[in-house]
């Protein structure tokens, strides 16, 4: 990576971390995916129950693999026979892992969901939430973050899951009310009332969509 981009990312990450702190959330900066994995594993004690609601970034740093192979109780909804029971168990997990669709420079988290399992668990339930976020998700303000979520993240996810939405064909949001829409619930996390619940590792890399 170009050295000037590295410097820019470090400086921008410090701004985001300050913004997160002002909102009772904790931010960390990882210079690489490897460093992000180490930081995440330092935050999750062995023996913890851990679940997640999708999120390529979590996979991309190798965290899911490390948890599955390590001494953790990883609840994988896709593998459990009773998906509803697994989802409900997830609300009582020690850690919920996710990425964000977008994060503002002053630390507001934007997430969009179709089934709402992800945004509901971010909002409440799991004891701690750990976000893994590439620097490509940082946006100047809420307006830009919403635009990113709806014109970058949502169309890519709609394509990924083979959904019949206008954005999966055009590549940008048409504000649809399609039965397949993944833009059912919008969660804007602007403050965490619960001290120490929300943690976010910013990674000096492009992760997810
Ligand atoms: S509202 Fe519809 S078209 Fe817009 S991003 Fe969401 S699913 Fe795609």
pLDDT digits (tens, 9 = 90+) for 22-67: 999 999 999 999 999 999 999 999 999 999 987 899 999 999 999 9
- Tokens at 173, concatenated: 């949001």
Average per-residue pLDDT for the chain: 95
pLDDT tens, residue by residue, 107-133: 999 999 998 999 999 999 999 999 999
Q: What is the mean pLDDT of residues 148-154?
A: 95
Q: Per-residue pLDDT for 1 more than 90? A: no
Ligand 1 centroid vs 162 CA: distance in angstroms? 13
| CATH fold of the domain at 3-203 | Rossmann fold (3.40.50)
CA-closest residue to ligand 1 atom 2: 176
At residue 138, does pLDDT exceed 80? yes
* Per-residue pLDDT at 77 exceeds 80: no
Which residue has a Cα nearest atom 6 of ligand 1?
183
Please classify residue 169 by burial: count the beta carbons closer than 10 Å to its beta carbon, then call 0-12 exposed, 13-18 middle and 19+ buried: exposed
| φ/ψ (deg, to 5) at 40 | -60, -45
Is the model's pLDDT at 78 over the cut of 80? Answer: no
Pocket test for ligand 1, best of 111, 147, 166 (most atoms within 8 A of CB): 166
Task: Please state the rounded mean pLDDT for residues 78-86.
Answer: 80
Residue 192's nearest CA partner among 118, 112, 127, 142 is 127
* pLDDT for the residue 139: 98
Is a pLDDT exceeding 90 seen at residue 82?
no
Q: Which of 147, 173, 186 has the most ligand 1 atoms within 8 A of CB, as the residue to mutate?
A: 173
Whole-number pLDDT of residue 114: 93
Domain residue ranges of the chain, discontinuous segments joined by +: 3-203
| Alpha-carbon 95 to chain mean position | 13
- pTM: predicted TM-score of the whole model, two decimal places: 0.95
Q: Report how far ligand 1's centroid is from the alpha carbon of 197 (Å).
A: 30
pLDDT of residue 54: 76
First-residue to last-residue Cα distance in the chain: 19
Residue 87 has what pLDDT? Answer: 85
d(CA 183, CA 14): 30
User: What is the pLDDT, as a whole number, of residue 128?
Assistant: 98
Note the pLDDT of residue 19: 98
Reading the block at residue 98, the tokens are 């996710």
**pLDDT > 90: percent of the chain:** 87
Burial 52-67 (b: 16+ CB within 10 A, else e): bbbbebbbbbbbbebb
Determine the atom of ligand 1 nearest the C-alpha atom of 183. 6
Residues with CB under 6 A from ligand 1: 150, 154-155, 158, 165-167, 173-176, 178, 181-183
């Amino acid at each position: 990576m170009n050295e000037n981009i590295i410097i820019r990312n470090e400086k921008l990450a410090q701004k985001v971390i300050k913004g997160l702190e002002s909102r009772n959330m904790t931010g960390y900066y990882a210079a690489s995916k490897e460093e992000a994995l180490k930081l995440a594993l330092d935050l999750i004690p062995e023996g913890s129950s851990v679940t997640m609601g999708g999120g390529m970034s979590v996979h991309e740093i190798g965290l899911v693999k490390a948890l599955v192979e390590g001494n953790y109780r990883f609840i994988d909804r896709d593998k459990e026979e009773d998906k509803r029971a697994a989802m409900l168990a997830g609300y009582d997990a020690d850690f919920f892992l996710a990425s964000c669709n977008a994060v503002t420079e002053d630390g507001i988290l934007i997430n969009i969901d179709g089934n709402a399992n992800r945004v509901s668990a971010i909002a409440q339930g799991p004891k701690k939430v750990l976000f893994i976020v590439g620097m490509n998700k940082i946006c100047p303000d809420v307006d830009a973050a919403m635009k990113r979520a709806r014109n970058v993240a949502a169309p890519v996810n709609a394509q990924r899951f083979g959904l019949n939405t206008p954005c999966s064909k055009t590549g940008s949001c048409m504000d649809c009310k399609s039965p397949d829409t993944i833009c059912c619930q919008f969660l804007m996390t602007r403050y965490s009332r619960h001290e120490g619940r929300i943690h976010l590792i910013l990674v000096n890399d492009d992760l997810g969509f």
